[in-house]
Amino acid sequence: MAYSPTTQTSPSSSSSSPPWDVFLSFHGEDTRKSFTAHLYTALKQRSLSTFRDDKELERGKYISQELLNAIENSMYAVIVLSPNYAFSRWCLTELAKIMERMKKTRLIILPVFYHVDPSHVRNQKETFVEAFAKHENDPRIVVDDLQTWRSALHKVGHISGWDLRDG
């Protein structure tokens, strides 16, 4: 079966939760049409089944079960941490699920620090502190989620990855 940029189907399975080689986590506005698009193409060229959520998210929507299943059924998670990553509740929820899976299974996490300093991710500085200030004032977000997200960012900021900053 051929890959399609909208269906993201594994060539080896027809089930609703195929085993994925790679799960891509990224903030769409920052990297969807640039870095993440090139990374996705490179992974496909290496014949790696790669889950990339191509749907634009509606404000207020919850993370989909399909996406959670894709995280559950992946061997690797590539997390593209960009300046606006933490402004997305969806990205932070994904990240928390990925970190939970790493702890419980053998999910291998490969962080990419795309135009962000890993210490800013780890310690929630710069745009990351701005994002949490916004989330703290959002009545839809519960304190437990904030703590889970902070912890996930702190942990992923300690994982050796690729630092792709300008200069």
CB 152 within 8 A of CB 96: yes
Spatial neighbors of 57 by CB under 8 A, at least 6 apart, are 28, 88, 90
Q: Please identify which of the residues 29, 58, 94, 126 carries the catalytic annotation.
A: 94
SS3 letters for 111-147? EEEECCCHHHHHHCCCHHHHHHHHHHCCCCCCHHHHH
| Active-site residue, 56 included | no
Q: Which amino acid is at 10?
A: S
The catalytic site residues sit at: 94
